[in-house]
A and B are shown apart, each in its own frame.
Chain A
Amino acid sequence: MSADSPVADESDVSADGPPSRAELAARVDELEAALDEATAEDGAKKMSIIATKGTLDMAYPPLILASTAAAFGYDVTVFHTFWGLDILHEERSKRLKLSSVGNPNMPVPNVVGALPGMDRVTTRLMEKRIADNDTASIEELLETSLDMGVEFQACQMTIDLMGYDEDDFYDGVTTGVGAATALQDMADSDIQLLV
């Protein structure tokens, strides 16, 4: 009927009784440590972007967001696949094109845009606007982002599919990676974007 012993509260384990004071204290310490770990702000935030497009207009968003996130102190990874590879391709990145069809906001109707040579015309116009507005070039944004520690990855499967060579890409670009690498990165990230 009476308590087992006056020292019951101090024992480490009481199989059938309520937890002892020492057990509860140990549990509280454990939980506080776990909470500190979970809420610690010392680990940098992470952003993961998947870049799939290689037109001049669609090359900008991933690079602008990547460099800006790096300025915020984020660890940034950009995984380039399909046409997105062209952004990392040293030669092709300098002559990315704007499509003159399929975009109703273009100043020319689709039937005119479909004429031979129209993509070159609209691309020139866009390049001129970029230069006039002092907007950074794709190459400049890429180099800046690399300097800031952004990791650019080129999907190995699409490198092979497009017939590119690993040496075609800018220095500092990571090759030999696939979807599982990208997925793991996204799982670890605070922000994930598909562009």
Chain B
Amino acid sequence: MSAEYDIAETLDVKGESCPMPVVKTKGAVDGLADGEVLEVLATDPGSMSDIDGWASGTAGVELVDQTESDDTYRHYVRKTEQR
């Protein structure tokens, strides 16, 4: 991973399946300050599409990056200022 952003917190949802990766990501993002980035580690392949969809349909969050390696899907979600 490049260091374009600092990771404020890491959430491990490995082994968990739909809808928990999204539900727990939402809970963890709520605890961040504006501008901070959450890293989510998942093994559910559906999380790639689901977290993307959730982030684009939800106010106050922005998907910064998604990567896949060694059966782990990494998601980087930034909490943005709510209008």
Contacts and interface: CB of A to CB of B under 8 A. Distances in A.
Interface of A: 41-42, 64, 67-68, 70-73, 133-136, 141, 144, 148
Interface string B1-20: 00000000000000111111
A71 B15 contact: no
Contacts of A148: 23, 26-27
Interface of B: 15-20, 22-23, 25-27, 54, 57-60, 83
B54 A134 contact: no
Contacts of A73: 58-60
Name the 8 nearest CB pairs between A and B, nearest first. A71-B26, A68-B19, A134-B15, A64-B19, A67-B23, A71-B23, A72-B58, A71-B22
19 contacts: A41-B59, A41-B83, A64-B18, A64-B19, A67-B19, A68-B23, A71-B25, A72-B54, A72-B57, A73-B58, A73-B59, A73-B60, A133-B17, A134-B16, A134-B17, A136-B16, A136-B20, A148-B23, A148-B26
A120 to B, nearest CB: 25
A73 to B, nearest CB: 6
Among B15, B25, B26, residue most surrounded by chain A Cβ atoms (within 10 Å): B26
